[in-house]
Amino acid sequence: MLKNTGNCFLLIGFNKVDKDIYMKTYDVIVIGAGHAGCEAALAAARQGANTVILTDNMDHIAQMSCNPAIGGIAKGQLTREIDALGGAQGIVADLASIQFRLLNRSKGPAVWSPRSQCDKVCFQRAMKMLLEEQSCLDVRQAQVTGFIIDSGMITGVVTELGDKIYSKSIVIATGTFLAGLLHFGMTSLPGGRTGDSSSEKLAVALREQLKLRIGRLKTGTPPRILAKTIDFSQMETQGADREEEGFSHFELPPTLPRTIQRELPCYMVYSTAETAELVRRNIHLAPLFQGKIKGIGTRYCPSFEDKVIRFPHHEKHHLYLEPEGEFTGEYYINGISTSLPPEVQIQMLKTIPGFEKAVISRYAYAIEYDFIFPDQIDRTLALKHWRNIFPAGQINGTSGYEEAAGQGLLAGVNAARFAGGLETVTIPRELSYLGVMVDDLVTKDIIEPYRLFTSRSEYRLRLRQDNSDLRLCEMAKDLNILPADKYRMFAEYRNQLNEAIALSKTVKHNGKTIFAHLKSLMGTYREGCPLPCPIDVLKIDLKTWLGRKIIRQLAILAHYDGYLEREEQSVSKLHKLENWKISENFDYDSLSGLCNESKMKLNKVRPMTLAQAGRIDGVTPVEIALLQVSLTRMLKNNNGK
């Protein structure tokens, strides 16, 4: 099915070759088939680049290493952006969904965030099939151990079996696998995650062949337990959000695997004072507290022992019990990630209501891994010193499937563009959370795993989950990453919406425009709920999905009327600064008036624009003004020549 929908555009500078199935020369090689790698490979291939994705285990493609869910605060917005850019994560999450909810419903629509509980196996199978069916894309099992360097250029990769595969550009998306070390109490084992070996040789190659600066980060995962051993009657049930429709703006491919049970419940429970006391008594067995783990973990997603020590006044902590799928008895306990030894984990669970007899199927553990300090990449995700190499995902210091997938998509776009001889692109910060994340990564000091929050954006009212298609589909079409049928569907929606907006702002009812009446909906339209005035003139059929989508958008626009215009004004100010490009070899040291610390930071980040320079921590507005004066002078001199 997919094969026939023309998913491969063949538009940019690639020669259509009569491809040998065992071809060893590609436009793009993607190393790793996790969340970043899959999006990268699909995005490169959608542009017509001959692409191969290499992974050390074909059965673990797009594995959810930690929680069986996609989305959440800011992450859900990002998944919807990926979808608007023609990516796969939203589609696959919708296919694999076993419970969908819109979080933050009690707050304004700008921060509503979709989240889907997923069947892990269905997620993997659907993503694997998408890769296999994508034209211009080969999927192969191979572990990459190093790079081929020819005359100072990286021209390909070497695999553990000694195979050499050549390409014009490479995406590296190896997640937590680089020199990965798993910690179960004081026992440590090498691994990329449980059940997968770590990537040792590639970790060495990044340091020794590519001479990259590498750091160590840490994350962790909770235990999984068996349903038949849980007493659910002691827990609060959390059901699905029946009204919401999922992540994707488009129709789901009918040939891919899909879950049957779409509304499985989750459960809520609290740990007890006894659990905390047990942790305190055994803290000497936690590798993090014994200095055994050197990698830096996340403050916002602490391990259970971290919570107990840092918040001693909290007697109990909230835990969520989430099903791992529809055909499995395993449950994931969100909120109790730990690196304490298995025997302590068993005791901890016995202190929690409903888990007294729970049997652990997989023990919790922490993992340490290598990452590339992201100040070595630019906003196109290219390495500054190896322009045809694009790292993406956890390797760049982020955490989370959504953050990985977003970067993968951008890396895939640019790897293909580089291979096709086209200029690489950046995604603007004011247009997307993807832009916010990439800009933050390359501009700010990354001292712990980076994850998205809505508060990271200056333009939260604009960057909503409901309008990611309006923000990004046009750009995706221009980049040749949005298939024609999807673009047609989007264009039809946009036309009808624009018509409805125009009519609602001109047609009046009882002396007030329809648009003004819609303000009383407070940004929310629920199916079947009464409207503040008749809207027949808008020609919207509320019985259809499209009609409901339009009225919801109108309700949100009316709710933020005035505020959005103000945000637009600050975006245009930002645009002005973004237009001030700074050359790659700008001499900051010779600029008088900059303090030494700012010079050091500017030299390290090498911002692409004046706006980006202004976002570097510690660089002051006065210094930006000085930089602007210097750029003006240079511009004048250049024009004068």
Q: Which residues bind ligand FAD (CB under 6 A)?
A: 31-37, 54-57, 60, 65-66, 143-144, 173-177, 192-193, 199, 202, 219-221, 301, 367, 393-394, 399-401, 404
Which lies closer to ligand FAD via its Cβ, residue 175 or residue 223?
175
Phi/psi-derived region of residue 458, left when phi > 0, alpha when psi is between -120 and 50, beta in every other case: alpha
Which lies closer to ligand FAD via its Cβ, residue 162 or residue 621?
162
Least Cβ distance, residue 383 to ligand FAD (angstroms): 16
Which lies closer to ligand FAD via its Cβ, residue 14 or residue 247?
247
Phi, psi of 613 (to 5 degrees): -60, -40
Q: Rounded to an integer, what distance in angstroms lies between the CA atom of residue 132 and that of residue 140?
A: 10
Which lies closer to ligand FAD via its Cβ, residue 58 or residue 346?
58
Least Cβ distance, residue 73 to ligand FAD (angstroms): 12
Q: Rounded to an integer, what distance in angstroms lies between the CA atom of residue 562 and that of residue 519?
A: 12
Least Cβ distance, residue 37 to ligand FAD (angstroms): 5
Could you say which DSSP state residue 359 is in?
Answer: -
Residue type at 289 in one-letter notation: F
Q: How many residues does the chain have?
A: 641
Least Cβ distance, residue 523 to ligand FAD (angstroms): 28
CA 596 → CA 449, 603, 617, distances in Å?
A: 28, 10, 14
Q: What are the start-end ranges of the E strands in 223-351?
A: 224-226, 236-238, 266-270, 318-323, 330-334
Residue type at 256 in one-letter notation: L
Which lies closer to ligand FAD via its Cβ, residue 169 or residue 174?
174
Phi, psi of 201 (to 5 degrees): -70, -40
Question: Please, is 252 exposed, middle or buried when counting C-beta atoms within 10 Å of its C-beta (0-12, 13-18, 19+)?
Answer: middle
Which lies closer to ligand FAD via its Cβ, residue 28 or residue 473?
28
Q: Rounded to an integer, what distance in angstroms lies between the CA atom of residue 42 and that of residue 203?
A: 25
Which lies closer to ligand FAD via its Cβ, residue 447 or residue 635?
447
**Tokens standing for residue 415:** 């790897």
State whether residue 318 is helix, strand or coil: strand
Least Cβ distance, residue 400 to ligand FAD (angstroms): 3
Least Cβ distance, residue 144 to ligand FAD (angstroms): 4
Which lies closer to ligand FAD via its Cβ, residue 80 or residue 224?
224
Least Cβ distance, residue 91 to ligand FAD (angstroms): 17
Is the CB of residue 63 less than 8 Å from the CB of residue 120?
A: yes
- Cα 249 to the chain's mean position, in Å? 17
Least Cβ distance, residue 427 to ligand FAD (angstroms): 18
Phi, psi of 268 (to 5 degrees): -120, 140
